[in-house]
Amino acid sequence: MGYIQKLREKVGHDPILTAGVGLLVFNEKDEVLMQLRTDYNQWGFPGGAMELGESFEETAKRELKEETNLDIEKLKMIKVLSGKDTYREYPNGDKLYDITAIFVIKKYRGNLKINDDESKILQYFNINKLPKNMTTHTKNYLEKFGDILNLALLEKKK
């Protein structure tokens, strides 16, 4: 059982503060990877919550492997998001504010496949033609924290 699950046993659905990662993975066509999530039935970027004792980088590597079967070879943190715009409520009623480290994955290896029960579909999208059916927190990240996709794409090419 993970840290968040243990914490939830004590606090129920009350808001908590978490730390986690959002991962921007681009293919050779400069399309960004998104997942159709099973919990919301909406699109978001791969990523997830930090476990006790993990660094942001370790969390990024673990989460990408768990969700997509991809292994990170090179990554770079491009932004840290925090504050009221990181609030989210899950369909089960869990509430949280998240400190989210956004990483661009500069190099990776492996074959893309759904590796857990969090994703229905993994698909690459043109950054100018993202799906409309995105999670609220994904929309918030894109609308309220600047142009992180273009920033990530520029950083990937360095």
Confidence (pLDDT) at 148: 82
Would you say residue 101 has pLDDT above 80? yes
- The number of beta carbons lying within 10 Å of the beta carbon of residue 115 is 16
Domain that holds residue 54: 3-156
Dihedrals phi, psi of 104, to nearest 5 degrees: -100, 130
| Number of structural domains the chain divides into | 1
- pLDDT tens sequence across 10-68: 999 999 999 999 999 999 999 999 999 998 899 999 999 999 999 999 999 999 999 99
Confidence (pLDDT) at 1: 59
Mean pLDDT is lowest, of 46-60, 77-91, 98-112, for: 77-91
Average confidence (pLDDT) over 152-156: 81
CA-to-CA distance for 25 and 144, rounded, in angstroms?
20
Distance of CA 156 to the CA centre of its chain: 17
CA-to-CA distance for 141 and 136, rounded, in angstroms?
9
Confidence (pLDDT) at 150: 81
**Tell me, what CATH number does 134's domain have?**
3.90.79.10
Confidence (pLDDT) at 146: 64
Q: Is 82 helix (H, G, I), strand (E, B) or coil?
A: coil
- pLDDT tens sequence across 118-153: 899 999 999 999 999 999 889 888 887 668 888 787
Distances (CA, A) of 25 to 2, 16, 31: 25, 28, 8
